[in-house]
Structure 1
Amino acid sequence: MTADAGVPPEFVRALHALRDERLRPEVRLTEIPAPARIAPYAVALTAEVAGDDGDEDAASGRFVLLHDPAGQAAWEDTFRVVSLVRATLDPETASDPLLCEAAWSWVEEALAGVDHHALGGTVTRVASESFGTLAEREAESEVEIRASWSPAGDVGPHLSAWASLLCQAAGLPPLPDGVSALGRRR
């Protein structure tokens, strides 16, 4: 997350806030190329979270921070977070008829402590079964949460909120109140 000359100071501050945010050690972040057509300025990160059962790919996702100094009407602001969370599910959880509502409540709970507005998104349940020469593969189930919102104030806590959502989707227990992560993984 580097800034070039001519980049608006508010976007540079946002980049520093993201870089300085401390996340749980289970969250492994990687910067990737940001989308170029949605906003004049953007940064994109991917993350993978290992589950408490040792599953290396319990959850993964993408966090994109967009900035348009002129603002965009749909954002109701000059910044927008666009996020994706994808998690593997056990068969019992995948068959729960309230899965989508529960997954959306995870988004709302994760964002409860950060100032935001214009929240919207979708939750999709994905079930895959293999046939023919692939019939020996086990059935797989996933949940995919796509959410976007306009952050207010410091954007660092929004990255932490999204990371908490990833950890919840991965099945990790929440950190107790007053306990914070000690290290940063980038």
Structure 2
Amino acid sequence: MSETAVPADFVTALLSVRDAAQHPLMEYEEIPAPTRLSPWNAALTLRTREENYAQPRSTGRFVILHDPHTQPGWNGTFRVVAHMRSQIDAEMCNDPLLSEAIWHWAHDCLEEAGAGYHDITGTVTREISESFGGLDLRGATLHVELRASWTPYTAYLGEHLSAWSELMCRTAGITAAQHIIGVPLS
């Protein structure tokens, strides 16, 4: 059995992601990646880091898939698959444009980070939870989930991770000022 050399483009992608995992409001952790989707892969779990909250308001995954021979539908040798789940203001649950706005924020964050991409697909899901009985004090909570995948133009994927991190913070309503000051801004 011969060992296959790690493709140079995949090494470039991993190094660029490692260098980009520096968002001050996020925690990053390497996790096992799905092995059946591509010959080369890596994955991270992400969560917001906030001093005044016991649980992160946003969690997610960032998966890198690489096939030097490409795959149908990718239109490239890399595919990024990302997921996030964010708690947002419950009053937004009635906004008919919420899903569309979050989808556009994903595009905005990728473009603002300089992450070149194409063939983006995805879904936005809303989850409304209302508490009753002894849990009435909690009131209603709203979570949104965004699942997306896209093909990057290059092997430099650091900008893509930065964009996803920013999107997770933006969706949860977390700003750099909150982190620096350590108190929620209303």
The verdict on a shared fold, with TM-score over 0.5 as the criterion, is: yes
| Kept in 2: contact 1:110–1:164 (CA 8 A) | yes
Trace 1:23-62 onto structure 2 (pairs within 5 A): 23-50=22-49, 54=53, 56-62=55-61
TM-score by length of structure 2 reads 0.82
For residues 144 and 84 of structure 2, the distance between their equivalents in structure 1, rounded to whole angstroms, comes to: 8
Number of residues of Structure 1 aligned to a counterpart in Structure 2: 172
What is the CA-CA distance between 1:172 and the residue it aligns to? 2.1
- Matched with 1:64 is 63
- Matched with 2:182 is none
Trace 1:125-140 onto structure 2 (pairs within 5 A): 125-129=126-130, 138-140=139-141
TM-score by length of structure 1 reads 0.82
Q: Which moved more, 1:31-40 or 1:105-114?
A: 105-114
For residues 91 and 21 of structure 1, the distance between their equivalents in structure 2, rounded to whole angstroms, comes to: 32
For residues 49 and 55 of structure 1, the distance between their equivalents in structure 2, rounded to whole angstroms, comes to: 11
- Matched with 2:148 is 147
- Matched with 1:74 is 73
> Percent identity, aligned pairs only?
45
Letter in 2 for 1:84: H
Look up the SS of the partner of 2:69 in the other structure.
strand
Q: Which runs of 4+ in 1 moved over 3 A?
A: 50-56, 129-139
| Kept in 2: contact 1:40–1:67 (CA 8 A) | yes
Measured against aligned partners, the alpha-carbon deviations of 1:46-94 in whole angstroms (never above 9, x if no partner) come to 1111458646411111000100111012111110000011101221112
The two structures, once aligned, show a CA RMSD in angstroms of 2.4
What is the CA-CA distance between 1:13 and the residue it aligns to? 1.3
| Kept in 2: contact 1:39–1:68 (CA 8 A) | yes
Letter in 1 for 2:146: I
What is the CA-CA distance between 1:150 and the residue it aligns to? 0.5
| Kept in 1: contact 2:88–2:173 (CA 8 A) | no
For residues 101 and 145 of structure 1, the distance between their equivalents in structure 2, rounded to whole angstroms, comes to: 11
Please identify which structure carries the higher helix content: 2
Letter in 2 for 1:127: I
- Matched with 2:171 is 169
What is the CA-CA distance between 1:144 and the residue it aligns to? 0.4
Give 5+ residue unaligned stretches, structure 2.
178-186
What is the CA-CA distance between 1:174 and the residue it aligns to? 6.9
What is the CA-CA distance between 1:111 and the residue it aligns to? 1.2
Residue 121 of structure 1 pairs with residue 122 of structure 2: yes
